[in-house]
Amino acid sequence: MKILFATTHYYLPQNAGGSESLTHDLCLSLKDNGIDCGVLADLAAAKDLIWLKNRIKTKLTGQAYPADYGFGYPVYRGWNPVNGIKEICASFRPDIAVVLAGKPLLLADAFLRNGIKTVVYIQDVDFHRHGREYDAHPLLHYLANSQFTADAFQTAFGFEVKVIPPLVRTERYTVTPNQQKVVFVCPSPLKGVEVAFKLAEANPDIPFLFVESWFIPPEEKQGYLQRASHCPNIEWLARQMDMRPIYAQAKIMLVPSVCNEAWGRVVTESQASGIPTLASNRGGLPESVGDGGILLSPDADIDVWQRALNSLWRDDALYNRYSQAATAYASRQGIQPHYLATELIGFLHSI
């Protein structure tokens, strides 16, 4: 069986969000099970090494979407991946396409026109941004990354969908944390950057580590960096390909999202090392956090977040209880990589 994952987003290392990490871990796990995988993604005009090699290959081969193999599987990149599906189907010859993130339905339509069975792996509940309305098609199938996503999808379109949570290959993330910092990943209004800044500003004795993930518009980023420069306890890092050095410093994962998070991958990644979470109760975060953290309303007064943060930071007994709960929750069968890979393979074989 050959599986092609496709997204209208940029892919690693040009972009490093939750869907990119998920796709990479899925490719590695399916490859371990003898399944050939490839990825089709957009190409960022970043004039980096990925871009340069891609442009050279395009000129030498005449392929608009040439592959690179740095991750151990082919990654086909080119502008507007929807236009590349015919070319990739002819060269890679997938049995099934799995589309996710960005505008998945535009990709799905192109695969269907080429007669390819297609799975839309739904990663968020912003259905109006997915390219068009969802509908039924004999070659089209759906998965959801959380029960929250599945319930929202069924309410909106009347389809029941199977839930397969994000696969996290824990060996890529597990560390022994030195418990020195509060870690906040993806500074963005949707991810609760204002709450993160207010907590850091109100607690100058607590070190914070802000780590970029999504693209930040230059003017917006400049404002964040200026604000962080006035707060000596904030360390700011660019996007990271390897999150282990980040989690190695973490005592608490801060996830104050104001959007309806479909899951919250950083929660699962960090819980593998017993790092508890202070998170909002939006969307699928209650599913991903479980007993391994404290959940608060993102609309709660900042004093409520302040008290929770200080309790978790300063009360050793309370911290150890949540840390142990995070470790236990990360050990549950329903989130183990082998279990999720088996579930996905079974689903793919069924179609």
DSSP string covering 237-298: E---S--HHHHTTEEEEEE---S--S--HHHHHHHTTT--EEEE--TTHHHHHTTSEEEE-T
**Residues 222, 162: Cα–Cα separation, whole Å:** 42
Q: Do residues 41 and 133 touch, judged by C-beta distance below 8 A? A: no
Q: Which of 41, 128, 123 is nearest to 88 (CA)?
A: 41
Q: pLDDT value at position 241?
A: 87
Q: Cα-flanking dihedrals φ and ψ of residue 335, to 5°?
A: -120, 0
Q: Do residues 69 and 49 touch, judged by C-beta distance below 8 A? A: no
**Residues 107, 71: Cα–Cα separation, whole Å:** 23
Q: pLDDT value at position 16?
A: 85
CB atoms under 10 Å from CB of 343, counted, come to 17
**Residues 76, 57: Cα–Cα separation, whole Å:** 11
Pull the structure tokens for residue 46: 């970043």
**Residues 14, 27: Cα–Cα separation, whole Å:** 17
Q: How far is CA 194 from CA 186, 198, 206, 208, 225, in A?
A: 12, 6, 17, 14, 13
DSSP 3-state assignment of 6?
strand
Helix (H) or strand (E) holding 338: helix 337-350
Q: Do residues 300 and 320 touch, judged by C-beta distance below 8 A? A: no
Pull the structure tokens for residue 272: 């593998």
Q: Which of 217, 192, 208 is nearest to 251 (CA)?
A: 208
Can you list the domains of the chain with their CATH numbers? 2-163 (3.40.50.2000), 170-332 (3.40.50.2000)
Q: pLDDT value at position 47?
A: 84
265-286 per-residue burial string, b: 16 or more CB within 10 A, e: under 16: bbbbbbbbbbbbbbbbebbbbb
SS3 letters across 47-115: CCHHHHHHHHHHHHHCCCCCEECCCCCCEEECCCHHHHHHHHHHHHCCCEEEECCCCHHHHHHHHHHCC
Label residue 231 exposed, middle or buried (CB < 10 Å: 0-12, 13-18, 19+).
Answer: middle
Q: Do residues 212 and 237 touch, judged by C-beta distance below 8 A? A: yes
Q: pLDDT value at position 107?
A: 97
Q: pLDDT value at position 215?
A: 84
Residues of the chain with pLDDT under 50: none
CB atoms under 10 Å from CB of 336, counted, come to 15
Q: Which of 10, 22, 7 is nearest to 46 (CA)?
A: 10
Q: pLDDT value at position 318?
A: 98
